[in-house]
Structure 1
Amino acid sequence: MQAARIVKIKEPLEIQNLEAPKPKGSQVLIKVESAGVCHSDIHLWDGGYEGPGGQILKTTDRGVKYPLTPGHEVAGVIESMGEEVEGFTKNEKVLVFPWIGEGLCPACRIGEENLCDKPRSLGVYNDGGYAEYVLVPSYKYLAKIPDLDTDISAPLSCSALTAYSAVKNAQLKPNDNVVIVGAGGLGLMGIQLAKAVSGARIIAMDLDDNKLKVAKENGADLVINSKNEDPIKAIMELTGNLGADAVIDFVNASKTVETDMQILRRRARVVLVGLFGGALQLNLVSMPTRAYKLI
């Protein structure tokens, strides 16, 4: 099979001919129809993330090994299966859950494999979907998608789950004011999910009027272009000078989080999602006196 692989960081992916894996036990071989491009794939290609003071946090220090076939947003059809697979058939259309753990740590034991101490995620720590085929360790990591287009479905295992987790962590209640920072792919998914499950008033913030227009079309009640107006003043005016009940920051850069911390109501929750990087200086007195939760 052919696979597009990161052989050396910051160099073009190489198309390599590899032997297609043969599934055994509970393993399933998926013929890839769609593989999304996530910003995390760019970080893998870059070889790291920006940390405090511009320091690069290397992917290899987190256990990533090259060469690597990236791609963790994968949908396709079942090509072949191990002898222990149950409930699936050849050519069945499926979405792959890529956040696979080692199965034994405390997170894995309660079903939170995405937070595993020794992750085995597809496309990050094991070869992923930028290939004709991908080997999934168990049929339990597959979801049947008979009526969904694979191009539309593939990002759901990453962007939708990430956004849903953020919305859940924000603990939104009806009539809460929630600020969603960043109206890109994740932010738009977060807006749709918050609208669907929370009953909160959604305020979208971005630097791009076109993105904010799409945010409004996808469920944002109010939008703020933080390049054209003072976002702190705007949020305080919209919330009767009380501040936001929650902020979900899909950018998570030093500048955006500094703003986040100035628009909070007492008891507010701040959920940091993006991987932009940088550092934050906190007013430690305000954390207990105003009962903020930083997640």
Structure 2
Amino acid sequence: MTIADSLNQLKMQMKTELTERQNEFLMYGRSSSMEKGEINRLCRQVSIESPNLLKGDCVYNAIVPVGNCPPKGARILVVYAGACYRRARETSNSSIGSLNQEQLCREMSDISFTAAALAQMQSAGSYGRENSLSQTSPQNCGYRDAALFPGFEVAGVIESLGSELKSTCGFTVGQRVCLYPYDGVPAGYSEIFVVPDLRYLIPIPDNLELSVAAMLPTGALLAMSSILSAHKIIDNLHKKSKDANKPVKLLIVGTGGLALWTLRIAAQHFYTKDSKDKVEITVASLRDEGLEMAKHEFENINFVQWSEDLYEKQLIERTLDSCNGLVDIVIDFGTTSRSLHRSLQCLNDGGVVLISEETAEKLLPKFSRKAEERKQHIEPVPLGTIEQLHEVVRLVANNEITPPPHTVFPAEQAAEVIRKLVHSEIPGRAILKFHDIE
């Protein structure tokens, strides 16, 4: 069966489900927008929140409205989405102020509450943006989680194209794509995404699995952006160095999906014929399984385990032994104060620690003065550009970069997947599957 046949079959299936979903939705409040025809579909959305002590569940299923296809945009049928959570909790910008956390955790697991709230917001014209109560759609509230962009690591097929697009637009219905996480992209693991502009869509070659493509828009892209930032620093260090043969020492912290991507891209980027002796790479592993996984793949890279059972001084000494002294650059995806403090202790005077922009918002106020006193620098790394995502897709599709291992799970098993991720029971990445088209 071709992708086009599969897409048509899915459309028929979703059409038959639409009436049932509309009835369930309208039982709790009628949307004026739906009456006017502005909403022509409902779809399911999986919202993954931070595991915490206040609630037993951290995965919620909702029925959410899907708008018309934008005139110059597209609607994407999501086939795969990267499943993530993070330990550090922070309040979402769209949290509902009228509910306390305990009440919110209890009510958000009830689809009737979600449907009623959505309908009320639709009637008030406030769906998808803040209103006078600083509320948005309830599936985007509470403690938000899922790596850098919750539910934005998606890959699928084009379900429909805008009415103002010409046949020469470069895309076709049924085409395989992944989504660049642009500002304003809806949060949550939704089975349909409405994309306002085709420039945010990245074509996926036939020889690249869609489940792999779903890992590229944030994890692999941020890793690429980090390596390119490190490359500029390395070039400057080589220019200033009195010893042209002295290699620059690079330390990568963490072996989660993000750090594993960084390790692979760093090896592809630096271990070339011309530069293999100019950079020494060491990985500081935060988990045993991550360390063992990476050890078997790379012969020219040093590894050191950052076991939380050891004293801080022991960990620093162990790292310096593995790196043969202080390092010049650290790419730190540990996202904690302790990890960044340790990275600074392993860094040369004048050295640079690269951290994600999101982490920088939390950690820079705490560490800027300390780094300045040590004549060190902490630099935020941006997510990366659309052009860089195109390049990541090309490199992975051409087998120039091997993706980290991943396991696919049905979207209905999202709660169990998060439980396993919390206990480090899934090696590599976990991918949620919404539709079966391959």
TM-score, normalised with respect to structure 2: 0.52
State which of 151, 174, 197 in structure 1 corresponds to 2:211: 151
Offset, 1:27 = 1.3
Equivalent residue for 2:175?
A: 92
Q: Which amino acid aligns with 2:158?
A: I
Q: Which amino acid aligns with 2:136?
A: K
Would the aligned equivalents of 1:7 and 1:68 in 2 still touch at CA under 8 Å?
no
Distance 1:18 1:286 in 2: 46
Equivalent residue for 2:229?
A: 169
Q: Which amino acid aligns with 1:67?
A: P
Matches within 5 A, 1:3-152: 3-6=44-47, 12-39=58-85, 48-49=89-90, 57-60=91-94, 65-68=136-139, 71-85=151-165, 86-100=169-183, 120-123=184-187, 128=188, 130-147=189-206, 148-152=208-212
Would the aligned equivalents of 1:254 and 1:279 in 2 still touch at CA under 8 Å?
no
What per-residue deviation string (whole Å, max 9, x for no partner) do you get for residues 160-212 of structure 1?
Answer: 11111222223353832111111111110010111111343211112433211
Bigger helix share = 2
Distance 2:256 2:250 in 1: 17
Q: Which amino acid aligns with 2:93?
A: T
2:288 matches 1:209:
yes
Distance 1:79 1:181 in 2: 40
Equivalent residue for 2:327?
A: 244
2:372 matches 1:287:
yes
Offset, 1:278 = 6.8
Distance 2:280 2:234 in 1: 10
State which of 311, 315, 323 in structure 2 corresponds to 1:231: 315
Distance 1:71 1:122 in 2: 9
Q: In 2 relative to 1, CA 263–95 (structure 1 residues): closer, same or farther, beyond 3 Å?
A: same
Q: Which amino acid aligns with 1:139?
A: L
Equivalent residue for 1:195?
A: 267
Would the aligned equivalents of 1:32 and 1:131 in 2 still touch at CA under 8 Å?
yes
What per-residue deviation string (whole Å, max 9, x for no partner) do you get for residues 93-145 of structure 1?
Answer: 01111223xxxxxxxxxxxxxxxxxxx1332xxxx5x2331111111100110
Q: Which amino acid aligns with 2:342?
A: T
Would the aligned equivalents of 2:304 and 2:322 in 1 still touch at CA under 8 Å?
no
Equivalent residue for 1:253?
A: 336
Offset, 1:82 = 0.5
Q: Which amino acid aligns with 1:214?
A: M
Distance 1:66 1:222 in 2: 47
Would the aligned equivalents of 1:257 and 1:280 in 2 still touch at CA under 8 Å?
no
Distance 1:38 1:164 in 2: 19
Q: In 2 relative to 1, CA 67–173 (structure 1 residues): closer, same or farther, beyond 3 Å?
A: same
What per-residue deviation string (whole Å, max 9, x for no partner) do you get for residues 18-40 of structure 1?
Answer: 44432132110011111111336
Q: Unpaired runs of 5+ in structure 1? A: 50-56, 101-119
SS of alignment partner, residue 190 of structure 2:
coil
Q: Unpaired runs of 5+ in structure 2? A: 1-41, 96-129, 141-149, 236-246, 272-278, 380-438
Would you say how many aligned residue pairs link Structure 1 and Structure 2? 256
Offset, 1:275 = 4.8
Equivalent residue for 2:239?
A: none
Deviates more, 1:229-238 or 1:83-92: 229-238
Distance 2:341 2:155 in 1: 38
- Identity over aligned residues, as a percent? 26
TM-score, normalised with respect to structure 1: 0.75
Would the aligned equivalents of 1:4 and 1:16 in 2 still touch at CA under 8 Å?
yes
Let me know the Cα RMSD of the aligned residues. 3.2
Offset, 1:6 = 4.2
Deviates more, 1:161-170 or 1:18-27: 18-27
Offset, 1:257 = 1.1
Would the aligned equivalents of 1:203 and 1:224 in 2 still touch at CA under 8 Å?
yes
Q: Which amino acid aligns with 1:30?
A: I
Equivalent residue for 2:436?
A: none
